[in-house]
Amino acid sequence: MKNKHKVTVGLITGLLAAAVVAGPASANIVLYQHINYGGTAWDFGTGYKQSLGDADKRASSLKVSKPANSTILYSGLSYGGTASQEFFIGAPDLRQWNFNDRARSLK
């Protein structure tokens, strides 16, 4: 049992090392049409999108994959609007952040 645990830790460490070596290119910010990561998924890569195309004002949940540190959603195009919110891991329900079907750009 102890050895099995060590192997698991080693594998995870290896995966983390691989992710770090890959750098920001492997970081993905994914918005979802519905809450709890349902419906259409829109992958925005490492972010910095002045407009969200098909996802415009439709996203209801999101995920931020490591090694991305975070993403910021904006209620306006080109990082504008009256509201913005930073997310570090993601959010299963953007209603909790008053951001349901509201995001129009992201960093």
Residue nearer to Ca ion on the CB measure, 27 or 52: 52
86 vs 101, which CB is nearer to Ca ion?
101
- Please spell the DSSP secondary structure of the chain, one letter per residue: -HHHHHHHHHHHHHHHHHHHHHGGGG--EEEEEEGGGEEEEEE-TT--BS--GGGTTT--EEEE-TT---EEEESSGGG-SS-EEEESSEES-GGGGT-TTT--EE-
Report, in Å, the least distance between residue 88 CB and Ca ion: 21
Q: Which is nearer to Ca ion, 42 or 71 (CB)?
A: 42
* Interacting positions 31-90 with Ca ion (CB under 5 A): 58, 60
> How many residues form the binding site for Ca ion (CB under 5 A)?
3
Residues that bind Ca ion (CB under 5 A): 58, 60, 101
